[in-house]
Chain A
Amino acid sequence: MSDNTLTRRDTLAALGALGAQDPHSHPPPAAAAKTTGPYKPKVFNERDYKTLAHLCALIIPADEVSGSALDGGAPAYIDLLCSGNEKLKETFLSGLAWLDHTSVKRTGKPFLESSSAEQTALLDLIAYRKNDGAELGPGIRFFDWARRLTVDAFYTSAAGIKDVGYQGNKGMTQFKVPQEAIDYVLKRSPLG
């Protein structure tokens, strides 16, 4: 399964299994760096947490701009919220179980152990509402939650905030808008 090495590495990095020197691991956000040691899940067992982390990294993978959902602390975020909310906990526990069961039915292997191609083939089905039905319905609803919380975790992290390019929360003595931004917008509009 060498075809999904990078995301697997990301998964391990998030779980603290890889050293900080690893050239493929992205620098953790400032806040996460303050915590000591890896996050200890409150809700998920080791196996489910690994699957969850892998799923998060597939939803928000590293690209040329920024790191993955793991750099945004998505698995810890989801585990923490599940620990405080029974409905969310049930959603994720049953969802992960559905994912593994469905993967076994389709490939003979649980999700994490199936090939990258097999994983994306399954996600390509449950990531779209158009496939809703008796067979995929539970997976689609679970994936919607997973995507929602993963996106929230990543884009509220230092990595995600940097990705979209938010530059504020600094304070300034005078509010100035760069002329190039104004010109850019007006020129591209029908009113330019």
Chain B
Amino acid sequence: MPEMPSGSLTRRDALFQIQRASPVYDVVVIGSGAGGGTAVHVLTKLGVKVALLEAGPMLNPARDFKEHMWPYQVAHRGAGDHAESYFGRRDFGYFGAPNGYWEMDGEPYTVAPGSEFRWFRSRILGGRTNHYGRISLRFADYDFKPYQFDGLGFDWPVTYDEVAPYYDKAERFIGICGSREGIRSAPDGEFLPPPQPRAHEYLIQKASRKLGIPCIPSRMAILTRPLNGRPACHYCGQCGRGCIPASNYSSSQVQIMPAMKTGNVTVIANAMARELITDDSMRVKAVSYVDTTTRTEKQIRCRSVILAASACESARLLLNSRSSRHANGLANSSGVVGRYLTDTVGYGLSGYVPALEGMPRYDCDGYAGGHLYMPWFELEKKSKEFPRGYHIEIGGGFGMPGVGSFSGVARSHEGYGAGLKKAIRDGYGCTVGFAGRGEMIPNEHSYCDIDPNVVDQWGIPVLRFHFRWSDNELAMVRHMHRTFTSIIETMGGRVHGRRNPERADAGISVPGTIIHELGCVRMGDDASRSALNKWSQAHDVKNLFVADAASFVSNPDKNPTLTICALSWRLSEYLAEELRKGNV
């Protein structure tokens, strides 16, 4: 086990040297994903001088993205030179955008006994926005006041109406396709037109409507019209590989690279933030980071700092920024930093639909992901089996064959020869899948803290996770199973496999694997029960802001990225004004 780093004289000496040399930036942004990218975009437009620290390397889309490659253009077909696809990959596939994984060499985390949690990290400019699903859902009005709604969890210090103008701004800039539907659980936004549904999606929509479940065009950060100098989508279905023309949203291509042209941002890649350095007046005056290419420690001075390193990473940074003035970590007089960690509740089910057999083949790529989805549909129901709700994402169609595409058919069909070939051909495109994405209510048992015994390869103490689903989430998953089964059977299909949702864990996703981990540095009006105020500004440290999902008070059944962008936009405008007034 490596030794803990000590606050030593040498560190102080280095600080002295660097402070003489380093300019003072108006804002240092830590992390370049949706939160950091939006902050860089907004601040640089307003003329603020920004330095952006990214723990990983720069991104070069033309070199790093494998858009349009056929599997046979590489000898291993995507399986990897060491047959990784058959023995456990450490990425989302050979063709996927460079994006990190749950396990990273040299950067461990620990999980407390009795808990289960997997923490996805990304170390590259743009972070997880290079590959994410582009689902862009506004939170509903009631999502900001869940405690008022049903007496569980906590209310946000902001309302939907306060955030809505920033949803508008984010949507207009990023470009979201969708349709106006007037559904309370799925507030409408500023939409570009949606593409047509695929053939099997028409059938899913019919079945869904028969069951009283609305099935509407997905809201995606994908351009169906040219916007702000970016071309419209060319419908190759490969958003997850990264989009070289930037027809979908990634903070790297859509926000940071254009911002670099303004001359107002200095991007420092391979800079792993270690801790925030404060002065006697409890303001952050510098950020200490490790230059990972040389393994040396450096500091950068700032008038203010925005944490956007991802929810848990931002919490880790605060908890590791300990001093005699704040022994529990920075901005943590409330003790809530690291607390109320949540992930989305996930459950998936697929089925075989004979009606799809022999369907005339067509180019079904579209954009990556379902062109339709189902927003939460039992909001008005009087008696509920569980609080809150979930939305449903759908899959299916004639996807590009890849390594493993037909392993399931091969295994269930068995045999070989002409019969196996026919089974694969006949079954191609006949499977539909449903993924439930539901709301977890924050609980006392789910949090992260610093493991006192382990540091990473940079000598930075690592996080230790504690996590527990409650009966609410397990009941929700059982409901998902019944709903998906009904939809599949209404289409005349049969559910794959013999899933048993009545088993103890109900088939619920492993915590962390939906990669919507958030909370940990939550907002609130009460400084004794929250770390940030309504502007995502630390109660304790006036020049410290959090622009990632660490600030979230709840984890509604809507993917968090659009709300990260909206809240980051909002705090960035506020911060720029506060800087102008000399308040931070």
Which A residues fall within an 8 A CB radius of B? 29-32, 58-61, 63, 65-66, 73, 76-77, 80-82, 84-85, 87-88, 123, 127-129, 143-144, 147-149, 151-153, 155-158, 160-161, 163-178, 180-182, 184-186, 188-192
- Shortest distance between the CB of A42 and any CB in chain B (Å): 11
CA distance A127 to B419 in the complex (A): 12
- Shortest distance between the CB of B359 and any CB in chain A (Å): 5
CA distance A153 to B76 in the complex (A): 9
CA distance A161 to B71 in the complex (A): 10
Contact with B492, one of A58, A160, A177, A190 (Cβ below 8 angstroms): A190
CA distance A181 to B73 in the complex (A): 30
Contact with A169, one of B81, B365, B407 (Cβ below 8 angstroms): B365
Do B360 and A180 touch across chains, with their CB atoms under 8 A apart?
yes
Do B206 and A61 touch across chains, with their CB atoms under 8 A apart?
no
Do A185 and B355 touch across chains, with their CB atoms under 8 A apart?
yes
Chain A residues within 8 Å of B492, by CB: 189-191
Q: List 22 A-B contacts (CB under 8 A).
A: A29-B72, A61-B417, A73-B72, A81-B79, A84-B81, A85-B86, A88-B87, A127-B416, A129-B414, A152-B407, A157-B72, A164-B428, A166-B399, A169-B68, A171-B68, A172-B235, A177-B197, A181-B362, A182-B199, A184-B359, A188-B357, A190-B490
Do A170 and B236 touch across chains, with their CB atoms under 8 A apart?
yes
CA distance A157 to B363 in the complex (A): 18
The 8 closest A-B pairs by CB, nearest first: A156-B71, A168-B365, A171-B234, A165-B361, A189-B355, A85-B83, A181-B199, A188-B355
Do B206 and A186 touch across chains, with their CB atoms under 8 A apart?
yes
Do B400 and A169 touch across chains, with their CB atoms under 8 A apart?
yes
CA distance A18 to B366 in the complex (A): 42
A85-B82, A166-B401, A191-B491 are known contacts. Are A31 and B416 too (CB-CB below 8 A)?
no
Do B356 and A185 touch across chains, with their CB atoms under 8 A apart?
yes
CA distance A190 to B75 in the complex (A): 44
Chain B residues within 8 Å of A59, by CB: 416-417, 420
Chain B residues within 8 Å of A80, by CB: 75-76
Chain A residues within 8 Å of B87, by CB: 85, 87-88
CA distance A41 to B577 in the complex (A): 67
A84-B82, A170-B363 are known contacts. Are A177 and B196 too (CB-CB below 8 A)?
yes
B165 at the interface (CB under 8 A from A): no
Do B199 and A184 touch across chains, with their CB atoms under 8 A apart?
yes
B514 at the interface (CB under 8 A from A): no
Nearest residue (CB) in A for B224 is: A175
Which B residues fall within an 8 A CB radius of A? 68, 70-73, 75-83, 86-87, 195-200, 202-203, 206-207, 210, 232, 234-238, 353-367, 398-407, 410-411, 414-418, 420-422, 424-425, 428, 490-492
- Shortest distance between the CB of B51 and any CB in chain A (Å): 38
Contact with A186, one of B202, B237, B354, B417 (Cβ below 8 angstroms): B202
Contact with B363, one of A31, A148, A167, A189 (Cβ below 8 angstroms): A167
Chain A residues within 8 Å of B490, by CB: 190-191
Do A31 and B360 touch across chains, with their CB atoms under 8 A apart?
no
Contact with B83, one of A88, A167, A178, A189 (Cβ below 8 angstroms): A88
Do A153 and B83 touch across chains, with their CB atoms under 8 A apart?
no
For the residues of A in contact with B, the DSSP-based class is: helix
Contact with A185, one of B72, B73, B200 (Cβ below 8 angstroms): B200
CA distance A170 to B361 in the complex (A): 14
- Shortest distance between the CB of A92 and any CB in chain B (Å): 11
For the residues of B in contact with A, the DSSP-based class is: loop
Chain A residues within 8 Å of B411, by CB: 144, 148
Do A164 and B416 touch across chains, with their CB atoms under 8 A apart?
no
Chain A residues within 8 Å of B403, by CB: 152, 156
CA distance A76 to B398 in the complex (A): 27
- Shortest distance between the CB of B490 and any CB in chain A (Å): 7
Nearest residue (CB) in A for B201 is: A177
A80-B76, A152-B79, A152-B407 are known contacts. Are A60 and B421 too (CB-CB below 8 A)?
yes
CA distance A77 to B83 in the complex (A): 10
A127-B416, A169-B365, A186-B202 are known contacts. Are A155 and B236 too (CB-CB below 8 A)?
no
Chain B residues within 8 Å of A127, by CB: 414-416
Chain A residues within 8 Å of B359, by CB: 181, 184-185
Chain B residues within 8 Å of A170, by CB: 236, 363, 365
- Shortest distance between the CB of A30 and any CB in chain B (Å): 8
Nearest residue (CB) in A for B398 is: A166
Chain B residues within 8 Å of A88, by CB: 83, 86-87
CA distance A183 to B314 in the complex (A): 51
CA distance A154 to B78 in the complex (A): 13
- Shortest distance between the CB of A39 and any CB in chain B (Å): 9
Do A190 and B425 touch across chains, with their CB atoms under 8 A apart?
no
Do B236 and A171 touch across chains, with their CB atoms under 8 A apart?
yes
A61-B418, A128-B414 are known contacts. Are A169 and B198 too (CB-CB below 8 A)?
no
Chain A residues within 8 Å of B354, by CB: 188
Do B416 and A165 touch across chains, with their CB atoms under 8 A apart?
no
Chain B residues within 8 Å of A30, by CB: 72
Contact with A160, one of B232, B361, B401 (Cβ below 8 angstroms): B401
- Shortest distance between the CB of B394 and any CB in chain A (Å): 14
CA distance A148 to B409 in the complex (A): 10
In this complex, the member of B353, B357, B360, B363 whose beta carbon has the largest number of chain A beta carbons within 10 angstroms is B363
Do A156 and B210 touch across chains, with their CB atoms under 8 A apart?
no
In this complex, the member of A123, A129, A148 whose beta carbon has the largest number of chain B beta carbons within 10 angstroms is A148
A85-B83, A152-B403, A188-B355 are known contacts. Are A60 and B72 too (CB-CB below 8 A)?
no
- Shortest distance between the CB of B270 and any CB in chain A (Å): 29
CA distance A63 to B417 in the complex (A): 9
Do B424 and A155 touch across chains, with their CB atoms under 8 A apart?
yes
Question: Besides A156-B78, A163-B421, A172-B235, 12 other CB < 8 A contacts?
Answer: A30-B72, A61-B418, A77-B77, A84-B76, A84-B80, A128-B415, A147-B410, A148-B407, A161-B70, A178-B360, A181-B360, A185-B356
CA distance A175 to B196 in the complex (A): 7
- Shortest distance between the CB of A5 and any CB in chain B (Å): 17
Contact with A167, one of B76, B398, B404, B415 (Cβ below 8 angstroms): B398
Chain A residues within 8 Å of B405, by CB: 152, 155-156
Chain B residues within 8 Å of A163, by CB: 421, 425
Chain B residues within 8 Å of A166, by CB: 361, 398-401, 428
- Shortest distance between the CB of A144 and any CB in chain B (Å): 7
Nearest residue (CB) in B for A180 is: B360
Chain B residues within 8 Å of A184, by CB: 199, 358-360
Nearest residue (CB) in B for A161 is: B401
A155-B401, A185-B200, A191-B491 are known contacts. Are A31 and B72 too (CB-CB below 8 A)?
yes
Do A185 and B199 touch across chains, with their CB atoms under 8 A apart?
yes
CA distance A172 to B234 in the complex (A): 5
CA distance A188 to B491 in the complex (A): 10
Chain A residues within 8 Å of B418, by CB: 61, 63
CA distance A58 to B360 in the complex (A): 29
